Amino acid sequence: MNYEKRQKERRQLKKRLDDLWGKIIRSKGRCEWCGQVKPYLNAAHIFSRRFLSTRWDVSNGLCLCPSCHRKAHDRPLDFADFVKTRLGQEEYESLRRKAKYPNKPDLERIYLVLKEIADERRIK
């Protein structure tokens, strides 16, 4: 298989992972910050998607309404305080360390893990 084809397949798999991760996070059905049930919910990363070691980790995601998602970006210190309260300081720091540790994730394995979570929760 040539390089371009492998890269294309990897991009497609990342897209499928992003979609599946988002469905799992949004399946909580309500904003985890304000508690409101809204018709449109966002899957928000606690630590940026650019950190591949936590990009598809469900513990790195929160279901937020669009206004709380905007607030998370506009007021990052308030968001960090909220997350630390929600997760606890120890879990927050553990997730932060994992995010900062660079690695090349096994995308196929991650897909299987996310698929299993989605199947258990009956997410299509």
Predicted confidence pLDDT, tens digits, the chain (124 residues) = 688 888 999 999 999 999 999 999 999 999 999 999 978 999 999 999 999 999 999 999 999 999 999 999 999 999 999 999 999 999 999 999 999 998 889 999 999 999 999 999 999 8
Question: Does a structural domain hold residue 18?
Answer: no
**79 is in which domain, residue-wise?**
27-114
Phi, psi for residue 101 in degrees, rounded to 5: -85, 110
| Residue in 47, 59, 48 with CA at minimum distance from that of residue 86 | 59
Beta bridge partners of 43: 63
Q: How many domains are contained in the chain?
A: 1
